A and B are shown apart, each in its own frame.
Chain A
Amino acid sequence: SAVISQKPSRDICQRGTSLTIQCQVDSQVTMMFWYRQQPGQSLTLIATANQGSEATYESGFVIDKFPISRPNLTFSTLTVSNMSPEDSSIYLCSVEGDVNTEAFFGQGTRLTVV
């Protein structure tokens, strides 16, 4: 299994500012995924990040709002830009398992925008 560390674990931010969330994995992985979990709701995939290529965004999510970096096979960042209260959510990083049949998740970043 993969061990995933996310930073920060939580933050309270002012509207209009940006927050960058870091995701560090203890092994090299091809694909990393970023999910959003809005209060009381399920997880929604924001984008898939492969090392060395542009992230692939799901419908309803755009690069200007959620820029992603993937500089190497163990690290990725997600930035939530120009935040509004509607961005208050838990953001989770996820990676594929070794045999490509499961996903492992970080503890998540609980973001509150005021």
Chain B
Amino acid sequence: AQSVTQLGSHVSVSEGALVLLRCNYSSSVPPYLFWYVQYPNQGLQLLLKYTSAATLVKGINGFEAEFKKSETSFHLTKPSAHMSDAAEYFCAVSSPSFQKLVFGTGTRLLVSP
């Protein structure tokens, strides 16, 4: 069975500050890991994915995440937050056979001026 834990239902940062959203996973097989973003009243958009290649993954909008097997983590970072980054962020895991995605509970990012 696979699962994802996102620490912190809400994260608040100031514009220009570092963004760090935490994700830990549990998987009995080598995982594929994803970060999705959901803006208000919209569907989910893929930010980035890890599929067993480079452990440091760069995504859209300046986000990146590092797969750390020893820590079972896949934390999302961005060096400098923009107001437009305010949204809900979901970490998800699947197996390489990609039968389905298992999502974390989400983290709402709040960006203040």
Q: Report if A105-B106 is in contact (Cβ < 8 Å); known contacts: A33-B100, A43-B90, A100-B98.
A: no
A contacts, CB < 8 Å to B: 4, 33, 41-45, 48, 58, 92, 94, 96, 100-108, 110
9 contacts between A and B (CB under 8 A): A33-B101, A42-B104, A42-B106, A43-B44, A43-B90, A92-B43, A103-B34, A107-B43, A110-B41
Contact for B34 among A41, A48, A96, A102, CB less than 8 A: A102
Q: A105–B36 Cα gap in the complex (Å)?
A: 10
Say if the beta carbon of B70 comes within 8 Å of chain A. no
Q: How many B residues, CB 8 Å from partner? A: 21
Q: Are B46 and A102 in contact (CB under 8 A)?
A: yes
Q: Would you list which residues of chain B between 57 and 113 have a CB under 8 Å from chain A? A: 90, 98-106
The binding surface of chain A is classed by DSSP as strand
Q: Which of B41, B44, B51, B103 contacts A101 (CB 8 A)?
A: B51
A106 to B41, CA, bound (A): 11
A42-B90, A42-B106, A101-B49 known; A106 vs B101 contact (CB < 8 Å): no
Q: How far is the CB of B55 from chain A (nearest CB, A)?
A: 16
- Which residues of A lie under 8 Å from residue B100 when comparing CB positions? 33, 45, 48, 58
A100-B98, A102-B49 known; A43 vs B103 contact (CB < 8 Å): yes
Contacts of B46 in A (CB 8 A): 102-104
Residue of B nearest to A93 (CB): B43
Which of chain A's residues have a CB closer than 8 A to the CB of B102? 45
B28 at the interface (CB under 8 A from A): no
Which B residues are in CB contact (< 8 Å) with A43?
Answer: 44, 90, 101, 103
Please tell me if the beta carbons of B105 and A107 are within 8 angstroms of each other in the complex. Answer: no
Complex Cα distance, B43 from A110, in Å, reads 11
Chain B window 37-50, contacts with chain A (Cβ cutoff 8 Å), 1 for yes, 0 for no: 00001111110010
Determine whether the beta carbon of A103 is less than 8 Å from that of B43. no
